[in-house]
A = this chain, B = another copy of it.
Amino acid sequence: MASIKIENVQKAFGKTIAIDHLNLEIKDGEFFTFLGPSGCGKTTTLRMIAGFYYPTKGVVRFGDKDMTRVPPEKRNTGMVFQNYALFPHMTVFENVAFGLRVRKVSSSDLKGKVLDALRKVRLENYSDRQVSQLSGGQQQRVALARALVIEPEILLLDEPLSNLDAKLRDEMRAEILRLQRDYKITTIYVTHDQAEALSMSDRIAVFNFGVCHQVGTPAEIYNQPANDFVASFIGEINLLSVQVKSVQQENIVVTLENGEEPVKLIVHNHTNEGELIQQNEKNLAVSIRPEAIRILDTVEKGTNILKGKIESVQFFGSVVNVMVDVHNVLLRVDVLNTHEFGYFYQGKEVYVQLPEKQLRLIPVISGDAP
């Protein structure tokens, strides 16, 4: 096991810069996730750690050892490829044994280790099968066993679940987590599925266009997104363009820019809001998660209670998604499916409350600001 340090790494392919000035530290035994849209540089970073690419600039360290230019076969990382990359001409056993054979493990040891690894992934009865006779999920477990059996210091997983259907994904997710906890191995997990990232990771790095926007625990990333890209990439969010009116100890007063007469909102002054305003950030927005908004039938006492009208209702099973038009701004509100059917309907007049603690002032970095 080892920690990984990525220091000031840049990677260019010809003229395209796939990764720019990346600094990351992944701790020993951590389950770390790279999250981001397609083409943002997740795979590139992972491959630099595995040794298939060499950074154009910068240093990659395992622990304190500079590994920047060590060839892949000397890195002792275990990688699970997106397509599993199982050797089609070998049995399950031989696939798993491959890394051990390379390491010239004696054949008695080898057998024990391979069977042990297969047991861990619950495939002990499949060792003589050809890999082509396995289902997608089983294949993935073989790939995992193959990577784990060599007892790598680092486990690298490149979107290992993206080919599977929803049910199998859930199962495999649990499996991977269980194995990672068992082996206590430093793991990097690449995905573009935010639910996956949030539910599995110790920490997450969110990428876009080769730049890492935020590193943090799932809750930090979700609840305190660093900017609008992170906020809107991770789950649904309502972003409201605002202007800051006044800053107080506890609260910040902002007005909604919606073309009509300004609507006043009170935002709780979290630690970083003040900084943002001091840094004179021009493009600011107030964000609130759909599930944080409360829908009230009648006006109640409290702050940030606005009148609105239901635009549409969509049923997603456990969650009902209600779009509410509030002063010409469309707010997405998620409520649990606990009401009776037909409780919300298009055209119904309601009040919404935006709890001040759930409102956050964040910088807008993307061109098409909300």
Chain A residues packing against B (C-beta within 8 Å): 37-38, 165-167, 192-195, 198-199, 218-219, 222-223, 234-236, 289-292, 314-319, 321, 334-338, 341, 355, 358
Contact = CB atoms under 8 A, between A and B. Distances in A.
A198 B195 CA distance: 19
Given A166-B193, A192-B166, A341-B219, A318 B290 contact: yes
Most-contacted residue by chain B among A199, A234, A318 (CB, 10 A) = A318
Given A165-B38, A291-B337, A336-B336, A317 B235 contact: yes
Nearest to A167: B37
Nearest to A340: B357
B165 A315 contact: no
Given A291-B336, A292-B338, A236 B192 contact: no
B338 A222 contact: no
Give the dominant DSSP class at A's interface. mixed
A291 B336 CA distance: 6
Contacts of A193: 165-166
Contacts of A219: 315, 341
A239 B219 CA distance: 30
14 contacts: A37-B167, A165-B192, A165-B193, A195-B317, A198-B316, A199-B316, A219-B341, A222-B317, A223-B341, A235-B317, A236-B318, A289-B318, A291-B336, A291-B338
A366 to B, nearest CB: 14
